[in-house]
Structure formats: structure tokens, C-alpha cells
Amino acid sequence: MMNNETSVLSQRDLRQVARRWMCMAVNTYNYESQMAGSIIYATSDALRKIYPNDNEYKEALNNHYKYFNTHPWIAPVVFGVTLAIESKEGIASKEIVQNLKTSIMGPMAGVGDTILWVLIPTILGSISSYMALDGNPLGTIVWMILNLFFIMIRYRCVEIGYHNGIKLIGAFNNKLARFTEAASILGLVVVGSLIPSVIKVTTPLNIHVGDVAMKIQPMLDKILPGMLPVLFTWGIYRLIKNNTLKIIPIIFLTIAVCMAGAAFNILS
């Protein structure tokens, strides 16, 4: 018989799901079912506890072995929710579970990709790398703390989904587009403000008018402070966006341009 309480799974069960997922999140990735194999590996013991009946257990496993693809760090929230539903409703919930996974994997991927893989690492990574460039050991510590924070969040995601997920996803979906747009704008502002500080590109060139030598760099700074770093960053961005070159050739091209510019006293 199916237990109708969502406490069928203990904290230990949920943490086992989290550990298994962290070890195997994309290890079974394929183009037919994407992350489904890893979900089954992560949740199989928990599902077995929910479904002591062999036939129901097999049916539940087959139900989860369907196409699923979202951000791997935030995916545990999704199947934390599905485990809660199955704990309460049993095998009768299999269509609800599949529909839920299909409907929210896209929005959750948007949250994970924007916030966890772009916004936070870009901002804190830029700050910590800038501190490291100045010889400040706190830069390394900040980056290590960020990664420890991410590990803790990933470890707790299954519990968050299991206990609060349905309410959380319902509330978050209503504000998702606005929140994602605001986060993207904030990330662009922060990264843009760091360009002149992190990218050091200046020119020692002078313009000679009669006996007077006028330095170009102060003139550029009056027009737009940090103009050369901004133009340099824009050029690299266009190469990447237009897929003109891959990342490794761009790195070597950057090194070559900088060395040539320094050798001919054009850049400093």
C-alpha cells in the first residue's frame, strides 16, 4: 500500500539522492533522453522506498526514463518536487510527474544558466581575479568560498524541492522573466564597469605638431575613459559572437597582437 504522507523519504534518503546526482549528473547524457539515466540512478533507491511493489517500481522507473534536460545544478529541485508528489499520490501521479518535469525544465534551465553559471561567477570571479592581480590572497579565498557555497546549495536542492518545491516553482514562475531580465542587466553593468580596471590597454603614441608632441592617450581618455580596453573587448566579443574564431585561436591572436603592439611601441 502507498503511504500518503510526504515524509515517506527521510533526510538521509534525500541526501543520498543529492550525492548520487552530484556524482553522475551528466555522465549518462545522450541525445535520446538527455539526463534521464542520471535521474534514475540518483532517485532509484528513493523510488524503491516509495514503491515497494515491483510492478509499480518498474513503471515509475520507466516513467522517469524520458527526455529531461535542464541546468544540472538546479535539476534536483525538480525531481525533489516529483518525489514529493509520488510520495503522496503514488503511481497514479505518473502523468502529473512527467508533465511537471516537461513544463518546468526550460524555466529552471533559464534560472540556472543565467544566475548560477553566468551572473554570480562572472561578478564574483571578476572581483576575485582583480584582487588576485593586485597580489591580494583574498581573491583566491573569495573564489573558493563561492564554490563551497555552490556545493552546499546543490546538496540541499533535493530537500528544498521535496519540502517546498511546488510552492517555490509556482511563485517563481510568475516572476521568472522579470527576474532573469533584471539579473542579466545587473551582470552586464558589473562586467562593463570592470573592463577598464581589469583590461590594461594604453598607447604611448604621440602626435607631433611642429615642435609640440601631443600624447594620444590623454586625448582618448577625455573622449571616453578606458576607450581602448572597451574597443579591445568589443573586438573579441564580435569574434566570438560571429563564430569567426574559436576561443583558443582568439587567445593566441590576442597574445600576438599585444606582443606586436609592444614591439612597435604602439601599445603599452
| Beta strand 212-215 pairing with 206-209 | antiparallel
Domain range enclosing 143 = 1-198
Are 213 and 86 members of one domain?
A: no
Predicted TM-score (pTM) of the model is 0.62
Dist. CA 98–CA 64, nearest whole Å: 7
Are 74 and 22 members of one domain?
A: yes
Dist. CA 114–CA 178, nearest whole Å: 12
At which of 198, 221, 252 does a domain end? 198
Helix 36-50 vs helix 11-24: crossing angle, to nearest 10: 160
- pLDDT tens digits along 227-237: 898 899 899 88
Are 79 and 178 members of one domain?
A: yes
Are 144 and 236 members of one domain?
A: no
Are 192 and 211 members of one domain?
A: no
Q: 143 and 124 in contact (C-beta within 8 Å)?
A: yes
At which of 170, 198, 226 does a domain end? 198
| Overall number of domains in the chain | 2
How many other CB atoms sit within 10 Å of the CB of residue 172?
15
- pLDDT tens digits along 36-59: 999 999 999 999 999 999 999 999
In a domain, residue 268? The reply is no
Are 27 and 160 members of one domain?
A: yes
Q: 149 and 110 in contact (C-beta within 8 Å)?
A: no
Mean pLDDT of the chain: 83
